[in-house]
Every structure is written in structure tokens, then in C-alpha cells.
Structure 1
């Protein structure tokens, strides 16, 4: 290509760029509007004085209810049958050597509903003697709380050993109580908890015995046949499950748990 052709190409390219630049700068400006801001709710907590005692009472009731809800898991575990039930069910799973079956969600759910079943008479009495009179205005908040605690304390006293109760009475440095009413609730709850743990471990020991026998028989049989490298747990697991199903194990466990509270 000669110099004249190259010069024509350069001139044509320059004209094209100039035309495109003019068209760009002469194009109408399109305004881009920002989307309206989404209002975010703001929570403001103020402490104001009030001359109406009813408003103050309702505020205190709401605060008391929030406090109770925050402590609900601890109250459910430490003052009901939940501790014994969930520990025994965990022992059953461990004795069967099925570490993930049933899963934790099933164990906790079953323990929770068994707790509701066992505690139903106690909670019905609380509802009858304390909650309903309080909602109807027949009892004050303090009176309702005292009446609500009484059936729960009676339940815990029935399941608490005197030795465990004496331990915490001694550690609390209080006078020797003559009646159940003289025992503070903060002393009764830990005594009840360790009593529940002891009972649960006793039941767990009884659960382990037949499954240990199966493990020993399977292990000795494999040793006598010279099958040292074969894990005995792999062979004993089906026999454990077969035994548990044949004796209707879940029925026996649940019935024993419920009867232990009566």
C-alpha cells in the first residue's frame, strides 16, 4: 500500500472518531434516580415517670414474664422429670452401641413429651390453684407465685433423697428444717437434680447388663474361632437390636421411667 492510501485511511479513521465523539456529547442526558430508601424500624426504650399505678404494674408484669421466659430452659430441666428421662434414653442408645441412632433431636423430643406426660398432674394443679385465680384477679402476683411453686416443690420432695437434701442444707449453713416448708427452694433444686442423676444412673446400669452379656458372648465366640481381627461390636450389634425388638424395649423403658415417678 502506498503512502497516499495510508493517508486516506488515517483521515477516515480520524473523521469517524470525531463524529462518534460529537454524537456522544450531544446525546440527551438520562437522569438516573436512586430508589427510595426503605424505612428501618427503630426500637427505643425510655424510662418515663407515670402517675398511673396500673401502667407501672403492667410494665413490671411484662418484665417479669420476659425474665421467666429467659429462664424457662433451666426451669424445665432442673425442676421436672426431664433430667432423669433424657439421661436414661441416652444410656439406652449408648448400650445399643448406636451412637447416632436415634438422633439427638429424637432423644430430646421424646424426653420432652415424656416430661409433659409425667408432669401433667403437677402442672394441672398449678393451673387450677395459681394461674386461673391470678388471671381472674382473685390472687395477687405474689400469692399466685407461692401457690404455683407449692405443687412443684411437692413433686421434687417426693423424688429427692434425704441424704442429698441434708448435704445442701449443711452447705447452705441454715438451721435444720423440721418441715418441707422450712427448706428453701434454692436448696431443694440442686438436691433434686443430683437425686435424679443418681436414679438415672441406677436405671442405666440395669439397662447395660443384658447388652454387656451379649458383647461378652460374641467376643468369646470370635476368640474361640480364631477370628481376632473381626470387631466384636460389628457382630453383636444385630443381636442387640434383635433382643431389644423382641422384648419390646422402648415399651419397657418408657413404662419403667413413668413408674419410677409414681
Structure 2
């Protein structure tokens, strides 16, 4: 099992824990798995079981691709590259920070998905199909809010389907790839802005070294401590993380309306 897959499984576990903490009453309830009952054929049960195992194995990847994780991890990777520190912070810290920021941003979406889809299913007031539809609707709404119209139109055209009457009528197989390339675009835009101040420091350092005749000294090595102290003095982590969270426009929903929390 690769390290990336382990992190995906850990992230999925955190999401499950969040849903559990959001509704402690559900801990006392039981969820049974119905594969057709006594009247179902063996072939039908096998197909359902295989489908369930496939969904569970792909769940970490699906959840990550439908959340804010993509933008956050790409921006943090750009930041580390711009600083010129290849292994600091280590991958474990970067991915963990991205996971917890994702959980923070997606908390309102997860709460809505639980209350609208999972809880009624546990109460046996709706069936599995309705529960899946209700649980995925908050994720679809979140993705549509972050997706550019041009990207959405591109995949609608590529899928050779009729234009939906409303945005929420767009199928997930169209929304997800459009959302992902929109996230990558925004992440690259933020990465460009992160690179500029550190690039200026590198250029100034290189000019000073050339004027002093120190051609053999690598400018990147000399400028590294200046870039680090610059990042510390401007409170870089506060600015980067704050900009990332605000870029999703979570507003008061992410903080739960706690008094004293400003945006």
C-alpha cells in the first residue's frame, strides 16, 4: 500500500469520525446491509457485494476529489517549492495540514449530507437510493459553486448530453472533472502569486552576488535564509491558510457562528 493511499484512507476515516461526532445519537443505532434478502439470487448478491467493495475501495479518492483537498495540497506544494525547501515541511505535515483544512472547510457540507441523507436512512424513513441522492447533493452544490461556467460547459459538450435545466440537474460525472480542473486553475493562480515575492528575493540576491564577483556561489542557497525570515516576518502561514479558507467562501458556516470569530 503506497503512502498516498494510506493518507487517503486516513482522510476518509476522519470524515467518518466527523459525521459520527456530528450526531452522537446515531451511535446507538445499527445499520444493516441488505443484499437482496432470502428472495435474492446468488448472482445478484455477488454483484451487489462487488459493487459495494468497489465503492468502499474508491471512497477515499472520491471524497478527496469532491472536496477542497485538491486546491489546498497543490497550493501548499507550490509554497514549499517557492521557498526552495524541498523536504521541509515534510510530506506528512503538508498532507496532514491539507486534510484538516479540508475537514474544516467541508464541515457544513458534511453536516448537511448527514442530516439530509444518512440520518433519515438510519431512521429507516428513506431507502438507500434516496439517501445516496440526498447525501451527494450538498457535495454537488459545493462543487458547482467552485466550478467555472466554461469548465462545466466543456464537459457538458464532451459528454454529448443536453444542457441541464438547472445546475443541480448536471450529472456528477460531468461536475466532478469540471470541478477538478477549476480547482487546479485556481491553485496555479495562487501558486503564481506565491512565487513572485520569493522570485524577487532570488533575483536581488543573484544581482548582489554578481556585482561582488561571487559567480561561484549559488544564489538559491544564499537567498534561502532571507526567504525563510521574510516568510516568518509577514506571518506567511497565517496569510496562506487564511487566503485558502476564504477562497472557498465558507463564511460563518465554517466557524459555526461562534461569537468573537471574525473573517
The normalised TM-score by structure 1 is 0.77
Q: What secondary structure does 1:192 align onto?
A: helix
Corresponding position: 1:127 with 2:114: yes
Corresponding position: 1:219 with 2:206: yes
Cα distance in structure 2, aligned partners of 1:154 and 1:56: 36
Structure of higher CA gyration radius? 1
Cα distance in structure 1, aligned partners of 2:235 and 2:133: 43
Decide which of 150, 155, 177 is 1:163's aligned counterpart: 150
Question: Which residue does 2:182 correspond to in 1?
Answer: 195
Residue 181 of structure 1, CA deviation: 3.0
State the Cα deviation string for residues 12-31 of structure 1 (Å, max 9, x = none).
Answer: xxxxxxxxxxxxxxxxxxxx
State the Cα deviation string for residues 75-118 of structure 1 (Å, max 9, x = none).
Answer: 12211000000000000000000001111111111111111111
Corresponding position: 1:239 with 2:226: yes
Structure 1, 131-140 or 59-68: larger mean CA deviation: 59-68
State the Cα deviation string for residues 118-172 of structure 1 (Å, max 9, x = none).
Answer: 1000000001111011011011000101101110000000000000001101111
Corresponding position: 1:210 with 2:197: yes
Cα distance in structure 2, aligned partners of 1:206 and 1:240: 15
CA RMSD of aligned residues (A): 2.1
Question: Which residue does 1:141 correspond to in 2?
Answer: 128
Residue 59 of structure 1, CA deviation: 8.3
Cα distance in structure 1, aligned partners of 2:226 and 2:245: 27
Cα distance in structure 2, aligned partners of 1:62 and 1:74: 20
Q: Retained in 2: the 8 A contact 1:76–1:82? A: no
Report the count of equivalent residues.
213
